[in-house]
Amino acid sequence: MVGYLPEEFVGSRIFGRKDYPDGGEATRRLMARVLEEPRKSQELEIRTGHKNGTFLWMEVVGINLLDEPGVEAIVWNFRDVTEQKELELRKDHFISMASHELKTPLTILSAHTQLLRERFAAEDRQDVVQQLSKMDDQVASLNNLVADLLDISSLQAGQVELARDAVDMDELLHEVVANLQPTTSHHLLIEGAAQRPITGDRERLGHVLVILLTNAIKYSPQADTVVVRVAHARDAMTVSVQDFGIGIARSHQQRLFERFYRVLSKKDQTYPGLGIGLYIAYEIIQRHGGKIWMESVEGIGSTFFFSLPTGEYRESAALI
Ligand code: ADP
């Protein structure tokens, strides 16, 4: 894959050369992990140089089977993933560019519909005001979508800065529920209370709640209730959002928090979405030093949980 003959490679210092930007050190760490943890496969993606001066991305997977009778070896697998990697980078770049480009016209559109609405309201033209409100709602949902796309670009690039507000979770939860309730026929119930504030980014934590609640509503079309529970322990609080909807098959549960991951429905019913909500929720909660997880039974319903440390804001939780 790298264009060298085996004899050129053996004993050479190719791994230490400048055209292996992270090959040397990262590969050594991978080898150490493989040796330390028998029977556990370890993987790494490295950007490495080809003999002809170009670069390639290589996926390296190793597993230590030295204690496996009959094998007694370390098994390595090397795969050229350059094309896949470049497509991913191009996709990220495209999403980031496209969402930036969409933002400005949407803001202008929104400002003008609002101006028009005020003007027609002053003239008491309720019919027009109503239509403009509908337009405004659609512009708002486009705005939310664009904001999510911008968010994943910056989360991906590690550029997200979290605010450090003292967040009253009970108040935030009631606020989010009050905003969402008029948009759905599901009853949104709140049980329990956090009682203590947490330190974090109020707007982004509100966004996590919106993501989990709108998913619970979206993926339970036959149900009429979504239950939000808040519980607190000594130094953490847990919020859960339970629905009585379609649920998620076990085979998909592992990957739900990945970017763009969606479960495609076997039945005819399709649910709109891009598969970015849970990824954003995961990143935001992680960056607050918290955890996010779920439990689900297909056909019965799902519960999404997140827990956050309460009390003093710890530095480790601030690492971005
Ligand atoms: P989206 O809903 O836009 O597809 P998300 O990232 O929010 O994106 O969710 C990823 C996938 O996880 C969804 O496509 C859906 O298949 C599944 N999912 C999320 N929440 C639920 C839920 N409450 N019940 C069933 N499936 C869910």
Q: What is the pLDDT along the chain (320 residues), one digit of tens a residue?
A: 888 888 887 766 555 555 555 557 778 888 999 999 999 999 988 888 788 888 889 899 999 999 999 999 999 999 999 999 999 889 888 888 888 899 889 999 999 999 999 999 999 999 999 999 999 989 988 988 898 888 888 887 777 788 999 999 999 999 999 999 988 999 999 999 988 889 999 999 999 999 999 999 999 999 999 999 999 888 899 999 999 999 999 989 988 998 888 887 666 567 888 889 999 999 999 999 999 999 999 999 999 999 999 865 444 444 33
What Cα–Cα distance (Å) separates residue 227 from each residue in 105, 186, 199, 216, 285?
38, 10, 24, 9, 20
Q: Is any ligand 1 atom within 6 A of the Cβ of residue 221?
A: no
Q: Which atom of ligand 1 is nearest to the CA of 279?
A: 6
d(CA 262, ligand 1 centre) in Å: 6
How far does the centroid of ligand 1 lie from the alpha carbon of residue 214, in Å? 10
**The pLDDT of residue 4:** 84
**Residues 238, 305 contacting (CB under 8 angstroms):** yes
Separation CA 81–CA 311 (nearest Å) = 45
* Whole-number pLDDT of residue 233: 84
Condensed to tens digits (0 to 9), the pLDDT of residues 179-190 reads: 999 889 999 999
Measured by CA distance, the residue closest to atom 25 of ligand 1 is 247
DSSP 222-291: T--EEEEEEEE-SSEEEEEEEE-SS---HHHHTTTTSTT--PPPSSS------S-HHHHHHHHHHHTT-E
Q: Closest ligand 1 atom, CA of 246?
A: 25
Q: Among 211, 223, 226, 230, which residue's Cα sits nearest to residue 276? A: 211
Please state the atom number of ligand 1 nearest to the C-alpha of residue 262.
14
Would you state the pLDDT for residue 166?
92
CA nearest ligand 1 atom 20, residue: 215
b/e for 171-199, b at 16 or more Cβ within 10 A? Answer: ebbeebbeebeeeeebebeeebebeebbb
Cβ-based neighbour number of residue 273 at 10 Å:
13
Q: Which atom of ligand 1 is nearest to the CA of 245?
A: 24
Report CA(59)–ligand 1 centroid distance (Å): 29
Of the candidates 59, 48, 61, 60, the one whose C-alpha atom is nearest the C-alpha of residue 3 is: 48
If you measure from the C-alpha of residue 215 to the centroid of ligand 1, how many angstroms do you get, rounded to a whole number?
A: 6
With vertex at residue 259, the alpha carbon angle to CA 154 and CA 309, rounded to the nearest 5 degrees, is: 70
CA–CA separation, 158 and 285 (whole Å): 14
Q: What is the pLDDT of residue 36?
A: 94
Beta-carbon contacts of residue 111 (< 8 Å; ≥ 6 apart): none
Q: Which of 152, 184, 213, 215 to mutate to test the pocket of ligand 1 (most atoms within 8 A of CB)?
A: 215
Contact (CB, 8 A) for 214 and 228: no
Q: What percent of the chain has pLDDT over 90?
A: 57
Is any ligand 1 atom within 6 A of the Cβ of residue 34? no
Instruction: Report how far ligand 1's centroid is from the alpha carbon of 62 (Å).
Output: 33
Q: Which of 149, 219, 293 to mutate to test the pocket of ligand 1 (most atoms within 8 A of CB)?
A: 219
CB-CB neighbours of 1 under 10 Å:
11
Torsion of the alpha carbons at 103, 104, 108 and 114, rounded to the nearest 10: 30
Look up tokens 């966004």; give the residue.
Answer: 207
CA distance 131 to 118: 13
Is 202:242 a contact under the CB 8 Å cutoff?
A: no
Q: What is the pTM of this model?
A: 0.76
**For atom 14 of ligand 1, which residue has the closest CA?**
262
207, two tokens: 């966004």
- CA dist 74 → 28, 31, 58, 301 (Å): 15, 10, 18, 43
Q: Does any ligand 1 atom lie closer than 6 A to the CB of residue 274?
A: yes
Spatial separation of the C-alpha atoms in residues 117 and 128, rounded to whole Å: 8
8 A C-beta contact, residue 206 and residue 167: no
